[in-house]
Amino acid sequence: MLGDVHFYGYQNDSWDPTTYPITRFLSETGVQALSSLETWYEVTKNQSDLSIESDLIQHRDYSVGQIQIMM
């Protein structure tokens, strides 16, 4: 059994339990998500910032191209 694991399987089926390694503790699963609109509204009131192509949203894409994969 593995110790602490950071698992990044961006292209894997996250609903399939066999996707993940057997470990004592899986601290990250590589599932990317975006914040809720309520959270974004705390950062900006500019509607154009809420477009998926906006600089603000794209800046949140820490693993380049992952937002497009989510879409």
Cα distances (angstroms) measured from residue 45 to each of 37, 53, 54:
11, 16, 13
Helix (H, G, I), strand (E, B) or coil at 57: helix
Do 51 and 71 share a domain, yes or no?
A: yes
pLDDT greater than 80 at residue 19: yes
Please indicate, yes or no, whether residues 39 and 57 belong to a single structural domain of this protein: yes
> pTM for this one?
0.53
The predicted-structure confidence for 51-71, as pLDDT tens digits, reads as follows 888 988 888 776 677 777 777
pLDDT, residue 11, reads: 77
Q: Are residues 37 and 24 in the same domain?
A: no
